[in-house]
Amino acid sequence: MIWRLRGTLYWEMQGGELFSELLGYLEKTVEGCSDPRPGSNLHYQLRDFFLSAFAVFFSQSPSFLAHQRLMEKQKGTSNARSVFAIRGIPTDNQIRGVLDQVHPASLRPGFGMALDLLQAREVLDSFRFLGDKLLLALDGTGYFFSESIHCPSCTEHHHRDGRTTYSHSVLLPVLVHPQRSQVIALEPEFISPQDGHEKQDCEYQAAKRWLESMGGRYAPFGVVLLGDDLFASQPMIEKVRSQKMNYLFVAKPSSHKYLYEELAGLEKLKGLQEVRRSYWTGRAHRTVIYRYINGVGLNARGSDGIEVNWAEITIVDDKGKQTFHSAFITDFLINAENVASIVEAGRCRWKIENENTNTLKTKGYHFEHNFGHGQKYLSSTLLSLNLLAFLFHTVLELLDRRVALLRASLPRRDTFYQHLAAITQYWQFESWRHLLLFMLQGLGLEDPDG
């Protein structure tokens, strides 16, 4: 069932508790993990370590487990048990010790199951653009930096002043749409030293690995890969095409001299096509100038070089002053009818920074907080759980009418989770459903499922 709230379309989950189903995805994922602890007579199950860490990220409260341990002591039960299905709460050090031994790739099935749910509920159709394509943006970002704490997975930077700094970075793939505020987080690829490679790992190589491991999973959905100028190279384009995906990459003159020399020559011969459109911003007039051409050489590699299709956007004000400019290369055949949509899709890549990376860093996810570094996988595994929490939040907002109403009624995204963290410290709820009903009642909102 599709329904509308404040002009936005949402999809109602039919039957059962959606939150419980999402937790079930995480439990199924954990079932596929090998328990790194020796012996069989263990006080806590492996699932309890994962669910405990996940609950911290889902509630956006670093002190969530401490409050739940206190509630267990005082009341004999807690929200960790009744809401998150945690049977026993390990200590923070126990959680870190176990998760340090679990490779973050073990959590990838959880992302896939959540996406399959969105596909089954036809939510992904609302993210399609350029006909029937999904826009998949890639971008790398750092999430840990230190001059003292480090592990074998850290990237080392040796500075001229003799200092050595250590960092962790990750490639974040997300599905985006120009007209949607939500983004759908996919499986991350961590940027870290690779066995058998002398050179430092980088965003570019991580993207190639992600395509090799996940390309076959997402190509059947019909994907257009969005990326910045770093990805606009022949080897990357060949990798994308080998995975049966389309591409739409930023292409700057400074790093594509041959391409822009060719374009300059074609411009003199009046070989570039142009489309102009004007619009009113509410305050001033703007003119958008699109220029494009199909089948131009990307580089001077001769017979093995590839041809790309190029599109440019320039926006000028009513005085002729340029206010925006960008250009893209793609394998889509460009014409006067679709050039605006192609450029809009290319510009949509910025959503991975605003709606994804910026949200993770500034809207309560504590993305750059060191929850535990470990000596093996801890930092990356904890970040994967944080990204799963972000994905599950999005799924709930799209499919759970109560969550959607609460989110729409509160001023900021992180306000909802601030309320969640506060009330779970003092009240114990029978389930996620009872927690949401309590919040609705407290805000004077009518239950949309009542």
Helical residues (DSSP H) of 250-377, grouped into ranges: 257-268, 339-347, 351, 358-362
Q: CA 100 from chain center: how many Å?
A: 23
**Same domain membership, residue 302 and residue 345:** yes
The reply to whether 385 falls in a domain is no
CB distance 332 to 311 below 8 Å: no
Bridge partners, 133 (sequence order): 129
Q: pLDDT tens digit string along 325-351? A: 999 999 999 999 999 999 999 999 888
User: Is it the case that residue 356 has pLDDT exceeding 80?
Assistant: no
CB distance 312 to 290 below 8 Å: yes
First-to-last alpha carbon distance for the chain, in angstroms, is 16
> Model confidence at 7, in pLDDT bands (50, 70, 90)?
very low
**Same domain membership, residue 205 and residue 185:** yes
Structure tokens at 21: 């189903």
Average pLDDT over all residues of the chain: 90
The reply to whether 373 falls in a domain is no
Cα 58 to Cα 221: distance, rounded to the nearest angstrom: 28
**Same domain membership, residue 112 and residue 49:** no
Q: pLDDT tens digit string along 249-295? A: 999 999 999 999 999 999 999 999 999 999 888 888 899 999 999 99
What is the arithmetic mean of pLDDT over 8-13? 43
**Same domain membership, residue 115 and residue 258:** yes
pLDDT at 6: 42
**Same domain membership, residue 407 and residue 280:** no
**Same domain membership, residue 345 and residue 272:** yes
Domain that includes residue 274, residue range: 108-357
**Same domain membership, residue 112 and residue 97:** no
Q: What is the pTM of this model?
A: 0.91
> Model confidence at 1, in pLDDT bands (50, 70, 90)?
very low
**Same domain membership, residue 275 and residue 220:** yes
Buried b (16+ CB within 10 A) or exposed e, 94-114: bbbbbbbbbbbbbbbbbbbbb
DSSP states of 45-103: -HHHHHHHHHHHHHHT-TTHHHHHHHHHHHHS--HHHHTT--SS---HHHHHHHHTTS-
**Same domain membership, residue 306 and residue 432:** no
**5/31: higher pLDDT:** 31
Q: pLDDT tens digit string along 198-248? A: 567 899 999 999 999 999 999 999 999 999 999 999 999 999 999 999 999
**214/370: higher pLDDT:** 214
What is the arithmetic mean of pLDDT over 156-170? 88
pLDDT at 16: 39
> Model confidence at 302, in pLDDT bands (50, 70, 90)?
low
**Same domain membership, residue 240 and residue 220:** yes
CA distances for 332 relative to 124, 225, 312, 371, 427, angstroms: 21, 12, 14, 43, 55
Structure tokens at 245: 């995906």
In terms of Cβ atoms closer than 10 Å to its own Cβ (0-12, 13-18, 19+), residue 361 is middle
* Least confidently predicted of 4-13, 120-129, 360-369: 4-13
pLDDT at 189: 96
The reply to whether 186 falls in a domain is yes
Q: pLDDT tens digit string along 392-409? A: 999 999 999 999 999 999
The reply to whether 379 falls in a domain is no
In terms of Cβ atoms closer than 10 Å to its own Cβ (0-12, 13-18, 19+), residue 358 is middle
pLDDT at 104: 94
Number of domains forming the structure of the chain: 2
The reply to whether 415 falls in a domain is yes
The reply to whether 365 falls in a domain is no
What is the arithmetic mean of pLDDT over 127-138? 95
What is the arithmetic mean of pLDDT over 133-144? 93
What is the arithmetic mean of pLDDT over 47-67? 95
Q: pLDDT tens digit string along 70-92? A: 999 999 999 999 999 999 999 99
**Same domain membership, residue 150 and residue 118:** yes
pLDDT at 198: 58
Cα 183 to Cα 197: distance, rounded to the nearest angstrom: 33
**363/397: higher pLDDT:** 397
Bridge partners, 185 (sequence order): 174
